[in-house]
Structure 1
Amino acid sequence: MISIIIPAHNEIKNLKRLLPLLVNLCNNEEAEIIVALSSENSDETKVVLNQEKVQFLKCLKKGRAVQMNSAAKIVKGDVLVFLHADVLPPKYFLSNIRTALKEVYEAGFFSYRFDNDSFLLRINAFFTGKSGFFTGGGDQCLFIKKSTFDRLNGFDENQCLMEDFEFFERMKENQIQYTIIQNDLIVSSRKYECNSYLRVNLSNLVLVILFKLGYPAKKLKSIHNKLIRSSYQKA
């Protein structure tokens, strides 16, 4: 069984688009959908987003790592899929995951493209289909066997920004076999629309380098907030 976990913070608009699509993909499949709401989401969110076959979990704290770990503790499935609220899965999403995990792989990611078909964003998207410096970012949608996730002790809840990269570092340290599925997710380009292409890419490069150099999580979050306009907010 596959458990799809979506961490969300003020993502009503995106969830209203994503959830019906996921429910349709999960029809006649052994799968469940859990939306892990941050502590700051109001109860009205559940009413607005009322969807059959979707479970809403109100978390005690805000933060993607906390929310994803909280949902992972209550799942019924033996495969976990961590999907951001502004990312749309492709056709054959679930079958791609099942096929990959039948092979030698314990985990994997998806390539993606942006919902804005600009030349520069196509360049960015091209590299998501290959292992490299930025592999492991949350937009790529991590899927992983639950037994492996538990063995790695889940996400580091002290990471308030780079929890996905930190988890991927531990995957590599523990020699977890992973694959990148060449079936594009569709990722929102809103960060690029609120900021320039150059600004976003330079900030991403700076943050990943500083993370790899061991900068504290809170300092990384502070730098991120200075580099990227606050109008862009994610779970």
Structure 2
Amino acid sequence: MISIVIPVLNEAQSIAVLLNHLVENASKEYISDIIIVDGGSIDGTQQLVKEIVAESDFSIQLISSEKGRAKQMNAGANVASGNILYFLHADSFPPKNYDALIRSEVEKGNPAGCFRMQFDSNHWWLQLASWLTKFSWRACRGGDQSQFITRELFDEIGGYDERFIIYEDNILINELYERNKFIVINKKLTSSARLYREKGVWYIQYHFWTIYVKKWFGADANELLAYYNKHIKQNRKVKATSIESPREAFVDK
């Protein structure tokens, strides 16, 4: 059985669409629970999820956690009931029958891995970056591709390293590559390019590369976070959002 863990922070505009996608593209037979881990949203995300929980015949639960994806994902894993954990970003949409695809790989003896990724953008560089994710190279990995891992292996590693506010996905991925326990499923997950659209493709790509290189040369969690906050962090004002329209995206389906 699979437990899906989704860390969220101010995702009222997309969470209902994602939950609808997860329900429509999987079998209830294989999904143990879907756990939304909120890190302190102020845009109506929590209220929206609570309404969806009340109306869905899937087991969906909302829990709260300290802000930070590593902390949120660990908190979700702590309450998950499945023996396979599937960590998913709130703006990433896995392929049809994603649950059966994950189960098949685990049954083959592959305890961890991800899907290929396709950005929702026609920019040539993002299309190329998407294409490269079909290869098994560690440099082509990232949290946007999602992460499945058996409960046993996740506990053996110790979960996500909560010292890292950013780059936490890659820390876990590095552990899996060191153990030679990572597979890329040759099906496409669609991920949002919203940060690239907002800040510019080359600007974001340059700074992501810089973070990768900094970590390669030994930068610690605090140094990576300071660089991210200075160059990438979105300083958008979060507005109160009307939740009726996003909610209908789930209910009407």
- On whether the aligned pair clears a TM of 0.5, the verdict is yes
Mapped to 1, the partners of 2:197 and 2:44 lie a distance apart of: 28
Given that 2:12 and 2:43 are in contact with CA atoms closer than 8 Å, whether structure 1 keeps it comes out as no
Moved more, 18-27 or 83-92: 18-27
Q: Which amino acid aligns with 1:105?
A: N
Distance 1:231 1:117, change over 3 A: farther
Q: 1:75-154 maps to which residues of 2 (within 5 A)?
A: 75-154=80-159
Greater CA deviation, 164-173 or 78-87? 164-173
Within a 5 Å distance, the mapping from 1:1-235 to structure 2 comes to 1-31=1-31, 32-38=33-39, 40-42=40-42, 44-49=44-49, 50-51=51-52, 52=56, 53=58, 54-59=60-65, 61-173=66-178, 175-228=179-232, 230-231=234-235
Report deviation, 1:81: 0.4
Determine what percentage of the aligned residue pairs are the same residue.
31
2:7–2:89 CA contact under 8 A, matched in 1:
yes
For the structure 1 residues 105 and 27, does the alpha-carbon distance in structure 2 shift closer, same or farther, using more than 3 Å as the test? closer
Q: CA RMSD in A?
A: 1.8
- The one-letter amino acid paired with 1:74 is V
Conserved 8 A contact 2:113-2:182: yes
Shift of residue 13 of structure 1?
A: 1.0
| Residue ranges of structure 2 left out of the alignment (5+ in a row) | 238-253
Aligned length in residues: 230
2:116 aligned counterpart, secondary structure: strand
1:17 aligned counterpart, secondary structure: helix
Gaps of 5+ in 1: none
- What secondary structure, in the 3-state scheme, does the structure 2 residue paired with 1:34 have? strand
Partner amino acid, structure 1, of 2:164? Q
Task: Give the direction of change, closer, same or farther, for the CA distance of 1:176–1:149 in structure 2 (3 Å limit).
Answer: farther
Counterpart of 1:73 in 2: which secondary structure?
helix
- 2:224 and 2:212 mapped to 1: Cα distance? 9
Q: Judge conservation of contact 1:194–1:229 (CA < 8 Å) in 2.
A: no
User: In the alignment, is the contact (CA less than 8 A) between 1:129 and 1:180 conserved in 2?
Assistant: yes
3-state SS, counterpart of residue 13 of structure 1: coil
What is the TM-score when the length of structure 1 is the normalising length?
0.92
> What's the offset of the Cα at 1:42?
4.8
How far 1:44 sits from its partner (Å)?
4.5
The code of the aligned residue for 1:95 comes to A
One-letter amino acid of the counterpart of residue 56, structure 1: L
Alpha-carbon distance change, 125 to 229 in structure 1, aligned in 2, over 3 angstroms: same
